[in-house]
């Protein structure tokens, strides 16, 4: 489960070969004991929950970094290590 970014207390990561459960490109995010999954394609919350303000930060970051996230998704889906992605500043 490589960490690909961290910002404002949020830790963003991808699992290797993680396309069976959700069947779509997504990221996992942890924040103060909470965990959620978000779609890379549209930023939609797939599972779990985060405080609304933190979810909006994740969704904004996905919008800005979508191309890099999709490239990392391809790597992770093939068992390769995804690259770090710049945090939201």
Average pLDDT (35-54) is: 96
> pTM for this one?
0.92
Q: Tell whether 28 is covered by a domain.
A: yes
* Band of pLDDT at residue 16, cut at 50, 70 and 90: confident
Residue 83 lies in a domain: no
**How many domains does the chain divide into?**
1
- Mean pLDDT value across the chain: 93
For residue 15, name the pLDDT band (cuts at 50, 70, 90). Answer: confident
Predicted confidence band of residue 71 (pLDDT cuts 50, 70, 90): very high
> How many degrees, rounded to 5, is the angle at CA 65 between CA 63 and CA 67?
100
The size of the chain, in residues, is 89
In a domain, 8, yes or no: yes
Please indicate, yes or no, if residue 85 is contained in any of the structural domains.
no
**Whether 14 contacts 2, CB under 8 Å:** yes
Residues 6+ apart with CB under 8 A from 79: 16, 17
Q: Which domain holds residue 43?
A: 3-77
Give the per-residue pLDDT at 81.
Answer: 93
| Assigned domain for 62 exists | yes
CA distance 74 to 31: 25
């Amino acid at each position: 489960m490589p960490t690909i970014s961290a910002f404002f207390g949020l830790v963003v990561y991808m699992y290797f070969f993680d396309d069976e459960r959700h069947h779509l490109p997504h990221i996992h995010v942890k924040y103060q004991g909470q965990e959620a999954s978000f779609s890379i394609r549209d930023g939609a919350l797939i599972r779990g929950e985060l405080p609304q303000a933190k979810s909006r930060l994740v969704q904004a970051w996905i919008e800005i970094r979508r191309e890099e996230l999709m490239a990392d998704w391809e790597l992770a889906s093939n068992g390769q290590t995804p690259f770090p992605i710049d945090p939201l500043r």
